[in-house]
């Protein structure tokens, strides 16, 4: 029985979130469209592991020694299961243990596909539609998925008589035994395409790169994953398409940072504006907005503009806030008149100052005037 925990690289006590995170990382790493076709088997192994460990009931079965991906498997120890028993019986009796194997249908469901895209912060705030390019299998345009160049239906295989399997005698240490194996001529399908399509070589699908529109919901977070149903790989001979999973990455913005549903930005204002108060215009994702810097504003004080943040994922139309941090520019060079004014303020307000208050936390300013408010009072 395969060790699914080892496949995903997680501990046996891993939480659901840890398993999901590990699966996303591994599926992205080994997806054939990203890592290359040689990793197809590894990608299937990762998906099989998550199919079990990502389901609470299947995980309980697996932890008790039963692999849900193999209905005939059991916890017999030493790697022996009912699949092994089936191989033994098929060697002796020429068929699969527990029921006969029929031909493999040509029409097979397609696999899921994985892609990633980077969007602007503004798109994450408002939502929108972005295009992502993916390299997947699509229905063959030449034969419309039939696999036949002339549209004719497959005919029964003359070698296996439509069974898909052929019996053959093999030599073993116990002597000659009868066993079954997929028919080499029809590859186990039980039928053959007499005139296969030259474009898809009888598979009914071809690989191509196409552009797909992705609806990005307002308020989406960085490293989110969006599922697009039936936009993955088309299956062989017109089989149902798998799903497309798109990982969303948000590009860093030059003006705003994001914290949850709120946006933050920083503005620098002259000291006089902070002392006396001032109205300024700032750029937002909603256009130019007026911002009032209150009189006596302290360095790193904030002014909040309600409802100008990111949309909320609960789809009720509400948005977070825009929090503006005020950075006050302290002049480094003063004229004689400016210095005289500052000295008058110092004589009036700081004459009795003898020490500096020191603390591990910012001092609470509630009910107390800040430096710039006192400066404003001193200057009349």
CATH of the domain at 276: 2.60.260.20
User: Would residue 215 count as lying in a domain?
Assistant: no
pLDDT in tens, the chain (380 residues): 678 888 999 988 888 888 888 888 888 888 776 777 778 888 888 888 888 898 888 888 888 777 777 655 444 333 444 444 444 444 444 444 434 467 999 999 999 999 999 999 999 999 999 999 999 999 999 999 999 999 999 999 999 999 999 887 777 777 777 788 889 999 999 999 999 999 999 999 999 999 999 999 999 999 999 999 999 999 999 999 999 999 999 999 999 999 999 999 999 999 889 989 999 999 999 999 999 999 999 988 999 999 999 998 876 779 999 999 999 998 888 899 988 988 888 888 777 776 676 777 665 544 444 544 544 554 44
User: How many Cα atoms occupy the beta-carbon half-sphere of 219 within 13 Å?
Assistant: 17
- Which residue, of 63, 80, 97, is where some domain finishes? 80
User: Would residue 106 count as lying in a domain?
Assistant: no
For tokens 């029964």, the residue is: 156
pTM, entire model: 0.64
- Which residue, of 41, 56, 80, is where some domain finishes? 80
User: Would residue 192 count as lying in a domain?
Assistant: no
User: Would residue 304 count as lying in a domain?
Assistant: yes
Contact (CB, 8 A) for 140 and 197: yes
User: Would residue 286 count as lying in a domain?
Assistant: yes
- Which residue, of 18, 50, 80, is where some domain finishes? 80
- Please tell me whether 197 is known to bind a ligand: yes
- Please tell me whether 157 is known to bind a ligand: yes
User: Would residue 281 count as lying in a domain?
Assistant: yes
- Please tell me whether 297 is known to bind a ligand: no
- Please tell me whether 265 is known to bind a ligand: no
Query: In CATH, what number is assigned to the domain containing residue 15?
Result: 1.10.287.110
Q: Write out the residue range of the structural domain in which residue 289 sits.
A: 257-378
User: Would residue 164 count as lying in a domain?
Assistant: no
Domains identified in the chain, total number: 2
User: Would residue 31 count as lying in a domain?
Assistant: yes
């Amino acid at each position: 029985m395969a060790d699914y925990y080892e496949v995903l690289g997680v501990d046996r006590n891993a939480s659901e979130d840890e398993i999901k995170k590990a699966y996303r990382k591994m599926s992205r790493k080994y997806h054939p469209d990203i890592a290359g076709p040689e990793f197809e088997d590894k990608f299937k192994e990762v998906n099989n592991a998550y199919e079990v460990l990502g389901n609470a009931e299947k995980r309980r079965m697996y932890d008790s020694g039963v692999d849900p991906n193999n209905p005939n498997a059991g916890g017999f120890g030493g790697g022996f299961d009912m699949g092994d028993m089936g191989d033994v019986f098929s060697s002796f009796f020429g068929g699969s243990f527990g029921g006969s194997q029929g031909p493999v249908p040509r029409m097979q469901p397609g696999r899921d596909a994985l892609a990633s895209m980077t969007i602007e912060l503004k798109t994450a705030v408002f939502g929108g539609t972005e295009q992502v390019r993916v390299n997947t299998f699509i229905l063959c345009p030449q034969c419309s998925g039939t696999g036949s160049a002339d549209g004719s239906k497959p005919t029964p295989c003359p070698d296996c008589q439509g069974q898909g399997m052929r019996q053959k005698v093999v030599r073993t240490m116990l002597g000659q035994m009868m066993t079954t194996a997929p028919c080499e001529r029809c590859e186990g399908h039980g039928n053959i395409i007499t005139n296969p399509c030259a474009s898809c070589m009888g598979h009914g699908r071809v690989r191509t790169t196409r552009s797909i529109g992705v609806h990005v919901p307002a308020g989406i977070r960085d490293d989110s994953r969006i599922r697009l149903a039936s936009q993955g790989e088309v299956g062989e001979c017109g089989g149902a398409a798998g799903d497309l999973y798109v990982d969303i990455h948000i590009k860093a913005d030059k003006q705003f940072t994001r914290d949850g549903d709120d946006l933050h930005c920083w503005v620098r204002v002259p000291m006089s504006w902070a002392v006396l108060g001032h109205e300024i215009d700032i750029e937002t994702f909603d256009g130019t907005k007026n911002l009032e810097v209150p009189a006596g504003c302290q360095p790193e004080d904030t002014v909040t503009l309600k409802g100008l943040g990111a949309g909320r994922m609960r789809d009720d139309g509400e948005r977070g806030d825009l929090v503006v941090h005020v950075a006050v520019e302290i002049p480094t060079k003063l004229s004689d008149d400016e210095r005289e004014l500052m000295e008058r303020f110092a004589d009036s307000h700081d004459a009795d100052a003898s020490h500096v208050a020191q603390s591990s936390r910012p001092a609470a300013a509630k009910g107390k005037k800040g430096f710039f408010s006192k400066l404003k009072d001193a200057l009349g």
